[in-house]
Structure 1
Amino acid sequence: MSDTAHPPGAERRPVRITSQALVQVADCRRRLWLANLTRTPMAPLPEHVVVLRERAREHERAVAGRFADLAGPFWKHDGPLSEVAAETLRLLRETRRPIWRGALVSADGRRVAHPGFLSWEGDDLVVTEARLALRPDARADFALQLAHVRDLLVETAGITPARFDIVNGEGETLVVEPATEARYASVVRAVDATLAEPEEPTELRAHSNCKRCPYYEHCWDMAERDGRIELLPEVQSAHVPEYHALGVRTLADLVALDPERLPAGPVRGSAKQAKVVASAWIEKRAAWLQPPMLPAGPLVWFDLEGDSLGEKAENPIYLWGVALELPGAEPAAEAIIAEMGADGDRAAWEKFVARANAILDSHPDARWVHWDAFEPLWIERYAARLGAPEGFVKRMKSACFDLKRVLDRCVRLPLRSYSIKHVAPWMGFEWRNPDSGSEWSVAQFHRARETDDPTERERRVAALIEYNEDDLWAMRAVWRWLREHAPGAPGPSGGA
C-alpha cells in the first residue's frame, strides 16, 4: 500500500461516487484510488488550470443569467449536503423554479450529483450544463456525467428528464444524449471495485496523458525507482500486456528479452529499439542510432506561443519568436506580440510575414529550426485564414527544419518524454523561470489580456518574451549537443 495511505483505524471522509469519480475511473483508476483513499500530496494547480476554472465559472454565471427566478447556487454555498439535497427535492416537487447547483443524493448516500441547472418547460424537466468545450456532444465523459444526473433524478425524485442541454464555450445550446443505462451501471461498478482495492493500482498511462495529473510526480517517480518499462516512449501502452505476459516488467527484463519471443509485427519491431533505450536508461547515457544530419549556414531559431483554444481563440498565436544566427555571430531574439483581438492577430501575422520575407530574401539558404510540427502547421493555417504573399508558405516550408525529428532519428535518451522541456535540461540547459511552460505561457497571456493595470500587463508580457527566448536558446543547446556529442564529432566549439 502507498506509504501515504490512511493508517488502519484512521477516520476517513465518506467516499462517494461523484461525476468526477466516474470520469476518473474511465480515465485512470489509479488517480481515483489515490484521490479517495490516500493523503498522497497533489501538485498545486498550474496557473493555466486556474485560468480555465475561472473562465468556466464565468461561463456558468453567464448561463445562469438565462434563467428567471433562479434558486441557488447551492453547492459549496448553503449548508451540509443533506440539507442541500432536501431543499433541491423540495423545490423540484413543490415549485417550478429553476435550480442552480442543487444536490442529488442516492438513498444509500453513496452517489452524489450537483447538476448545473434544473429547469421546467411545462411539465418537462430539462437538465442544462455549462461547458467551455466547443463540441460537448462528442465527449463521452460529459455523456457519462449526464447519465449520473439522470439516474439520481429518477431515484430521488421519480423524474426522468425530457432533455439534456449543454451550453458550449461559444454560448450555443446543444442537445446531448446521456450514456446508456448499461454503460453508466458498468462505470459505477468500476468505481466501486477500484475503491475496494486494498493496494494502490500500478497502472501507468502514456506520459502525454499523465503529465497534467496532480499525481504525476508520485506515479512517475515511483516508476523510475522501480525501473518500469512504461517509462520508455518506445513501449506503447497497448503493448504493455504483451510484455507482461512474457514476464517483462522492468528495464532489466527488457534488456534481457529476445524480441523474437513477441508476436511478429509492430510490437516486435518496437521491442528491438526499446531494448536499446532500456540500456541507455540503466546506464544513464545516450544511445546513438546514427549521426545527426545538421545543415551548415545561417540558422533561424523559430518558436511560436499559441492559445490552447486553437483557431477558436481571438489570438491563436499570440507570440511569434525568431532569432537569426549568422556564422560567427551571436543571435538576438525577436518577439512579435499580438495585441488583443482580431485586428491585433492580423497585425502580428503581417509583421511576422514581413520579417520572415526579409530573412528569406537576405539569407535564402537559412534553415528555420523549430521543435515538432507546430510552427509549420500554424504558418499554413494563418496563410489560409489571413492570406500571405504568393509563394510565402512554400518558401517557409522548404526552409523549416524540425530538430525534434532529427533527434528522434539519431539518438535515444534516458528520458520520460522527448518534449524540449525534458530534452534540453538533460543536455545542461535551464529556463530562467523553472515554472514556465506552454500552459503557463497561455495563462500569462490571458492574465495580461484581462488586467486593467498597464504595469501588470507589461510585467506578464515581459515574462512571456523571456520564456519564448529561452525556448529558442533551448533548441540551440540541443543543436550544439547533437553536433558535439555525436559519434565522430569534433567536440565543443563556438557558435551554433
Structure 2
Amino acid sequence: MLINAELLLQYQRCQRRPFLDTHADRSQRDVPNELLLKLQQDKTIHRQGILAHFTCHKPDYPQGNWEKGHAATLELMQRGVEYIHQGVLLINYQELANATSENIVSSHYERYTLLSRPDLLVKQPGQSCFGDWMYVPANIELGKRPKQEYQVVAAFHALVLAMVQKVAPPTAWLILRTKKIDHPVDLAKWAPQTQQVLEDFIQVLESPDAPEVFISRQKCNLCHWYSQCYAIAQSQKHLSLLPGVTPIRYNQLQSLSITTLESLANTSPITLENLVGFDGEVAPKLIVQAQSALQRRPFILPNLPSIENITITAPVELYFDIEAQPDLDLNYLLGVLVVDRQANTEQFYSFLAERPEEEELIWQQFLDLVWQYPEAPIYHFCVYEFDTVKRLAKLYRTPYSSVQPVLNRFVDVYEQLTQSVALPIESYALKAIARWLGFEWRDKEVNGAKCIYWYDQWLETGDRTLLESIQSYNEDDCRATRQVKDWFVNFVRDEYGWRLA
C-alpha cells in the first residue's frame, strides 16, 4: 500500500479522512464545492508562478507507474541536474523503520511503500551516492505561514530522500505565499515527529474500524467525506455538534465519561471548570448549551451581561454586510438595509465595486449613506464589518471625524447574542441562527465561499448574472441579521418581563 504526502497531510487534520480515502467506497464522496475548486486553482497558479523562476527537469514516465517514475528520477539525480520538478521517490517503510528505530519487529511495515513527490528537488554541494552533490526537497504551499502540517510533509520528503541518496539532506524548504520566498524546516526537530506521525498513521490504517467522527466545521466543510461523517454524527447526537465542544474539551469530557448531551446537561460546572480547556466561564455556558440542545429551546446564559448593554430597537436602523475577495485584499460589496420603523419603510443599498479599483468609490458611497442617518445604530454580524471599516478608513485616509462617530454606532449582533443566550443549534453562524428562526435565503445553496468564486468568474467572464446573485445574497444576509436582532431583543425582553426601550 502506498503512503504519500497528501495522506499524511490530511491525517494531521483529521485521522478519519485518510482512513476513508484508503478503505471506503470512493463513489460515496461529496462533489467538490466551489471553494475547494478555487483553492485548488489558486494553488496551481501559485505553484506555476514559483516554478517559472526555475529551469526544471521533470521525470518522464507513464502516468501512475511509480516504479518507472522513480527510475526516471534517479537518472536525473545521477546526471546532477539542478532542479527536478515532481520527482518520484519510493522506499519501503520497513527500510526507514529499520534505519531510524531500534528493535523494529513489525513485519506488517513491509506492506507499506512511501511515495514522495516533492515539488522540487534542489541540487546542493555535498556527498551522496550520486557523487559530489546531494539534493534537498522544497515544497510549494498556498498558506502564508509554515504550519506544522506543512513542516511534517517537508520532513517526510526529506526522510525518503535520505534513504534514496544515502545521505540526509541538511534541511528542507517551504515556499509559501509570502514576500519571503522560502522557509527552512528544522529536520532535527521535525524528522522524529514525522516518524511518529507515520507510525501512528499506520496504526490507524491497520485498524478494522474508522476513527471516531468529530465534526470540526472549518476543517470538515472542505472534505469530500463531510456528508457521510455528518450523517453519522447526527445519528449519534455526537457532542462535536454542540457549539463550544473543541477536540481538547471533548477529550476532557470523555475522560469523565461525559459522552452524551444528557450527561453533559446534568453535569455540575464545578466538575468541569478546572479541566484543560475549561474555566469558570466556559463550563457553565457549555452545560447550558447542552440543556438547550436537549430541550430544543433557547436559554438565557448564566452571568448575562448588564441588561443596559443589550441592544435596543431604534426609530431608524441600519443593517450592514460586506462581501470580500481575500486573495485580492478587496471588499467589493458594501450592503446596507435601511429600516425606518416610524415610516414603516425598508430600502436596501448595494454599493458594488465592479472592478477592484472601485473600492474607494463604494467606500465613500457607504459613508455618505450612513451619515444621512447620524443617530441610527448600525447592526452587523461578527467583527469583520467593524474591522473592515477601520481598515478602509486607514487605507483611504478618511478623516477621524468622519469615521469614529460611525464606528461608535456599530452593534455586533453576534457578540451580544452569544454572550447572552444559548440556542438549540449546531453553529452560531448567521445562516444557522436565521434558519432556526425560519428565515431562508432566496438561493438556498449560496454562501460566502460561492460568492468569492462568483466574483472571480465575473472578473473573467463579465457575466452580470453573477453580480446579481451576489447582491441578492448580500441583501439576504442583511435581512437575516435584522431577523436575528429582532428576535434577540424580543426574547430577552420577554424573559425579563419588561420592555427594552
d(CA) in 2 for partners of 1:263, 1:483: 30
Q: How does 1:85-104 map to 2 (within 5 A)?
A: 85-96=70-81, 98-104=83-89
| Structure-2 change in CA distance of 1:450 and 1:129 (3 Å) | farther
Q: What corresponds to 2:362 in structure 1?
A: 348
CA contact (8 A) 2:215 2:229 kept: no
| Structure-2 change in CA distance of 1:271 and 1:97 (3 Å) | closer
Q: How does 1:129-168 map to 2 (within 5 A)?
A: 129-135=139-145, 138-161=146-169, 164-168=172-176
Letter in 1 for 2:325: D
Deviations 1:24-71 (A, max 9, x none): 222221222222222273322221221221122122223333233x33
Q: How does 1:327-342 map to 2 (within 5 A)?
A: 327=341, 328-341=343-356
Give the Å deviation of 1:268: 5.6
Give the Å deviation of 1:368: 0.6
Q: How does 1:458-477 map to 2 (within 5 A)?
A: 458-477=464-483
| Structure-2 change in CA distance of 1:168 and 1:268 (3 Å) | closer
d(CA) in 1 for partners of 2:496, 2:204: 56
Give the Å deviation of 1:422: 0.8
d(CA) in 2 for partners of 1:393, 1:250: 48
SS at match of 2:425: coil
1:253 and 2:263 aligned: yes
SS at match of 2:10: helix
SS at match of 2:142: coil
CA contact (8 A) 1:21 1:191 kept: no
CA contact (8 A) 2:158 2:172 kept: no
d(CA) in 1 for partners of 2:218, 2:44: 27
Q: What corresponds to 2:447 in structure 1?
A: 437
Give the Å deviation of 1:320: 1.0
Give the Å deviation of 1:420: 0.3
d(CA) in 2 for partners of 1:166, 1:74: 25
Q: What corresponds to 1:11 in structure 2?
A: none
CA contact (8 A) 1:125 1:160 kept: no
| Structure-2 change in CA distance of 1:206 and 1:59 (3 Å) | closer
Give the Å deviation of 1:247: 1.8
Give the Å deviation of 1:423: 0.8
Q: How does 1:474-489 map to 2 (within 5 A)?
A: 474-486=480-492, 488=494
CA contact (8 A) 1:129 1:166 kept: yes
- Cα RMSD (Å) of the superposition? 2.7
Q: How does 1:23-34 map to 2 (within 5 A)?
A: 23-34=9-20
SS at match of 1:234: coil
Q: What corresponds to 1:494 in structure 2?
A: none
- State which of 386, 398, 409 in structure 2 corresponds to 1:399: 409
Letter in 2 for 1:114: R
- State which of 271, 274, 280 in structure 1 corresponds to 2:283: 271
Give the Å deviation of 1:448: 1.6
Give the Å deviation of 1:468: 0.6
Q: How does 1:444-455 map to 2 (within 5 A)?
A: 444-451=454-461, 454=462
Deviations 1:329-372 (A, max 9, x none): 3322212222434x3233332333333xxx32x32220111001
Q: What corresponds to 2:100 in structure 1?
A: none
| Structure-2 change in CA distance of 1:390 and 1:243 (3 Å) | closer
SS at match of 1:134: coil
Q: What corresponds to 2:42 in structure 1?
A: 55
- State which of 18, 40, 47 in structure 1 corresponds to 2:4: 18
SS at match of 1:391: helix
Identity of aligned residues (%): 22
d(CA) in 1 for partners of 2:322, 2:377: 16
| Structure-2 change in CA distance of 1:406 and 1:219 (3 Å) | same
TM-score by length of 2: 0.84
Q: What corresponds to 2:293 in structure 1?
A: 281
